Amino acid sequence: MARYFDVHPVNPQPRSIEQVAQLVREDDLIVYPTDSCYALGCRLGSRTGPERIRKLRHLDARHDFTLVCADFAQLGQFVIVDNAAFRSIRAATPGPYTFILKATGEVPRRLAHPKKRTVGVRIPDNPVALAIVRALGEPIVSSTLLLPGHEDPLTDGWQIKEELDHAVDAVVDGGDCGTEPTTVVDLTGGAPEVVRVGAGDPAPFES
């Protein structure tokens, strides 16, 4: 049965946030709000969390997980960022964008694309998500909470709790955060490539 945390969307309660962060440290799978949909999340070193996410969402091994980071300094530990990528990411974060980049050695192999060694990274513009990541002290491995058979991600915290009560370990309800996932931008080539248009304006990355 999943634990349920009802937190303030702008000023999340520190005690609740620390409890959530501790659950993640203990290898629990959580649902938490971002600036573009609710997301499934687990700790970076989890051996069971990514597979639980894949099973829940019916994803294959080629799925790029996203590392949700607290700031640019943290993001830079896990992906290779050249000058052009640095400028692009700086201009768009925090915000509803996911950037695909080459992973550094800090990223466990099971989280990166098996052939390309890429991973998604983002810095959300959401106080609850940022508070959890800061309390945890490392990125959260994440994937949009879009379930098989659903056209849109779930948006109501209590409904998520009821639907996933035995599939996840905790649900953090931070209010409605929309149904549109992030805009995904691949920065591994010579020029940015928008691979999915979502909540973030793609115009800055289109030639």
Q: What is the mean pLDDT of the chain?
A: 93
CATH homologous superfamily of domain 3-198? Answer: DHBP synthase (3.90.870.10)
Mean pLDDT for 84-110 is: 93
pLDDT in the model for residue 60: 81
Contact 65, 51 (CB under 8 A): no
**Would you state the pLDDT for residue 22?**
98
**112 φ/ψ sector (left φ>0, alpha ψ -120 to 50, else beta):** beta
* Interval 150-170 mean pLDDT: 91
Give the whole-angstrom CA distance, residue 56 versus residue 54: 6
Q: How far apart are CA 171 and CA 162, in angstroms?
A: 10
Q: What residues pair up with 41 in beta bridges, in sequence order?
A: 30, 142
Count of beta carbons in the 10 Å neighbourhood of residue 9: 14
Average pLDDT over residues 83-100: 94
To the nearest 10 degrees (0 to 180), the angle between helices 127-136 and 14-25 is 50
The confidence score (pLDDT) of residue 64 equals: 75
